[in-house]
Amino acid sequence: MMRKKAVIALGGNAIQSGDGTAEAQQKAIENTAKQLVDFIENGIDIIISHGNGPQVGNILLQQKAADSVKNPAMPLDTCGAMSQGMIGYWMQNAMDKAIKERGMVKNIVTVVTRVVVDKNDPAFTNPTKPIGPFYSEKEARKIMEETSSFFKEDAGRGWRRVVASPKPVSIKEYSIINSLVEQGTIVISVGGGGIPVIETENGLVGVEAVIDKDFASQKLAELVDADALIILTAVDNVYIDYNKPTQRKLEDISVGELKAFIESGHFAAGSMLPKVEAAIHFAETSPVRKTIITSLNQAFNAIEGKAGTVVSMHGAPVTV
């Protein structure tokens, strides 16, 4: 059987359901792992990436709450590393269990991943990435007055702290990630978009930012020469006229058609827009590459061309 390679980016609902306890998050991840095993069983090598918006924001708050001379608060890049370790650990346990239940044997590893960003990226002066819990407008405005944090309204769901979200330029660990995958290991990497670092005369230095996991996953998919980038979120498809009576789902679509829908403003900034942009960036690198945007439940159907929004250079079905 010809092996294929896919980078699977997991959205918030694949990691968290119910409250934010370790138990609830691990339960959601166990359910996710069961579905990801379908790919492995069918000869697709997977690299799993995931978001960290809620988790990294909460870790930052916990750091600040306990901040003291003897127990200094850790900065955002280090909180990002903590979130990679935490979610990676949960995912390793869940994948181990799911694989064993299907009678297979596989190694699973989490790679703490550093992603280089440009220190002059305009995102550093325009924070847009929501992290941590939701607040009322009144609470958010009060915290903004008292601290140097910024808050914005997040897609009608409430107010959240926003931080800089520079674009990924390169991924330090991509080569080792690829070697591990080629050996048949399941790799969890670029968690939370990767730890943002800049290149300096003294080596790599972490910066106060959170990279978008869809953009980082797209960059990784390119660098490891994946056949497919699979972006899993809460909806089965990307829609035009989303939530309007004229709503229409997109199935097989070309890069050109999708760019035209972006121009007409069909995709919400901060939610569907980065996914659609990442999808385009990956699909336009080669006519044999495709990006799928769908839900966890439809993920495997989508790889078989039976579900999801599939973005490719020419919009015709691409077999993976």
Ligand X SMILES: Nc1ncnc2c1ncn2[C@@H]1O[C@H](COP(=O)(O)OP(=O)(O)O)[C@@H](O)[C@H]1O
Ligand Y SMILES: NC(=O)OP(=O)(O)O
The catalytic residues are: 12-13, 129, 213, 275
- Residue 274: which of 159, 128, 174 has the closest Cα? 128
Distance set, CA 86 to CA 22, 207, 247 (Å): 9, 20, 38
Residue selected from 14, 210, 228, 229 as contacting ligand Y according to rule CB under 6 A = 210
Based on the shown chain and the rule CB under 6 A, indicate whether residue 158 belongs to the binding site for ligand X. no
Residue list 247-276, contact with ligand X (CB under 6 A): 266-268, 271-272
**Of 5, 160, 213, 290, the one binding ligand Y by CB under 6 A:** 213
Least gap, CB of 215 to ligand Y (angstroms) = 8
Binding partner of residue 210 among ligand X, ligand Y, none, CB cut-off 5 to 8 Å per kind: ligand Y
> From ligand Y, ligand X, none, which one binds at residue 143 (CB under 5 to 8 Å depending on kind)?
none
* CA gap 192, 233 in Å, rounded: 15
Which 32-61 positions form the footprint of ligand Y (CB under 6 A)? 51-53
Binding of ligand X at residue 49 (CB under 6 A)?
Answer: no
Nearest to 309 by CA among 234, 235, 252: 252
Site for ligand X in 219-238 (CB under 6 A): 233-235, 238
The site partner of 192 among ligand X, ligand Y, none (C-beta below 5 to 8 Å per kind) is: ligand Y
User: Least distance (Å) from ligand X to the CB of residue 251?
Assistant: 13
**Total residues belonging to the chain:** 320
Answer yes or no: are the C-beta atoms of 320 and 44 closer than 8 Å.
yes
C-beta nearest to ligand X: residue: 11
The pairing of beta strand 239-240 with beta strand 114-116: unpaired
Instruction: Work out how close the CB of 283 gets to ligand X at its nearest, in angstroms, rounded to a whole number.
Output: 17
266 binds, among ligand Y, ligand X, none (CB under 5 to 8 A by kind): ligand X
Of 4 and 268, which CB lies nearer to ligand Y in the complex structure?
268
What are the residues binding ligand Y (CB under 6 A)?
A: 12, 51-53, 192-193, 210, 212-213
What are the residues binding ligand X (CB under 6 A)?
A: 11-13, 51, 233-235, 238-239, 242, 266-268, 271-272
